[in-house]
Amino acid sequence: MKQKYSGFSLIELSIVILIIGILIAGVTQGSRLVRESRLKTARTITESSDVNSIKDVILWLDAANEDTIATGTLASNEYGNAEQDDAVVGWKDRNVQLSGDIVLAPHQDASAPKYQKSGINGLPSIRFTSDNLGYDDFQFFVENYSIFAVIRPLSAGTQYIVNVSTIDTTSLHGLVFSLESSGFIRFLHRSPYSVNSTSGNFYSTNSWQANKPYITSLVRDINASSAEVWLNNQQYISETATRPRYEPDSLKLVIGAIYFGGTSYSRYFDGDISEVIIFDRALKNSERIDIQKYLSKKYNIALS
């Protein structure tokens, strides 16, 4: 007597495979729809945000605005079609308050950071590792300024978020806003440009954590003699600002590294950056809070 076997027939296996394929396609489609909905909501929040009405914005970088992201190579690139892990060779200012385009770019293709479709809390980000984006002719020579950034460091160590400095090898003046290997925040305003350069060099008394998203806020007000830094609305630095303005009328802006002149970059940021907003004045406390609330709502980052 032959032994009987029970199992799936070829038709039954085909049906099972078809059902699995449909389920996978449904999950993929659902994830895409969720992402697109989240991105649409984020863009709506940006368009109605207080940033549009607060004066003196000199730079506004927003990774959620795909039309401001160029991918490819420095010699051949296109805007608006960024895909996961594409090399970012241009990040265009979306600011409407100033005429003329500011586009941050790597100094070479090999140093281009990567585009992340689902970065900080599911919104697009630019991922930096040993990369940077810079602009050589940044008009930033004031005593008062405000800088906001949405970041997520992925590891410990010294990491430079924003660096504004000379475009020669001396770098005897400029500003540095960084995460230090000690776990502290550092803010340096160094001026004027001379061998007798003086510094306002401040460190936080509390520390940051890797793999945590932050809304960073920096406001320097020479009139109030204050230099202050907040992370998610928790104050990290509150010091007396006394140093004068920068002397040159043109500086190099670098996101994601510190610049030492020529092609010398180091102390790279290791993580994601989604948005950077810079004002050439010290914002009022109410304005700072309004911008933090906008970024908190957009990126779903709780404020202290």
Write the CATH number for 171: 2.60.120.200
The pLDDT, as a whole number, for residue 13 is: 76
- 10 Å CB burial of residue 154 (0-12, 13-18, 19+) is middle
Question: 37-72, pLDDT tens digit by residue?
Answer: 888 999 999 999 999 999 999 999 999 999 999 999
Q: Which of the four pLDDT bands, split at 50, 70 and 90, describes residue 163?
A: confident
Domain of residue 82: give its range. Answer: 49-299
- Residue 133 domain flag: yes
* Cβ atoms 175, 280 nearer than 8 A: no
Q: Which of 106-120, 165-179, 241-255 has the lowest mean pLDDT?
A: 165-179
Name the amino acid, one letter, at 12. E
- Residue 37 domain flag: no
**Total number of domains constituting the chain:** 1
The pLDDT, as a whole number, for residue 25 is: 66
- Residue 210 domain flag: yes
The pLDDT, as a whole number, for residue 97 is: 74
- Residue 41 domain flag: no
Report yes or no on whether pTM surpasses 0.85: yes
- The distance from CA 72 to its chain's CA centroid, rounded to whole angstroms, is 20
The pLDDT, as a whole number, for residue 172 is: 64
Distance between CA 275 and CA 63 in Å, rounded?
A: 6
Question: 210-235, pLDDT tens digit by residue?
Answer: 999 999 999 999 999 999 999 999 99
The pLDDT, as a whole number, for residue 99 is: 63
- Residue 248 domain flag: yes
- Residue 17 domain flag: no
- pLDDT of 194 > 80? The answer is no
Question: 34-44, pLDDT tens digit by residue?
Answer: 778 888 999 99
The pLDDT, as a whole number, for residue 32 is: 61
Q: What is the CA radius of gyration of the chain?
A: 23
Mean per-residue pLDDT for 296-304? 96
- Residue 56 domain flag: yes
Most confident option among 99-108, 175-184, 224-233:
224-233
Q: Which of the four pLDDT bands, split at 50, 70 and 90, describes residue 249?
A: low
Q: What percent of the chain has pLDDT over 70?
A: 88
- pLDDT of 196 > 60? The answer is no
**Which phi and psi (to 5°) does residue 24 adopt?**
-65, -45
- Residue 82 domain flag: yes
Closest CA to 62 of 108, 129, 120: 120
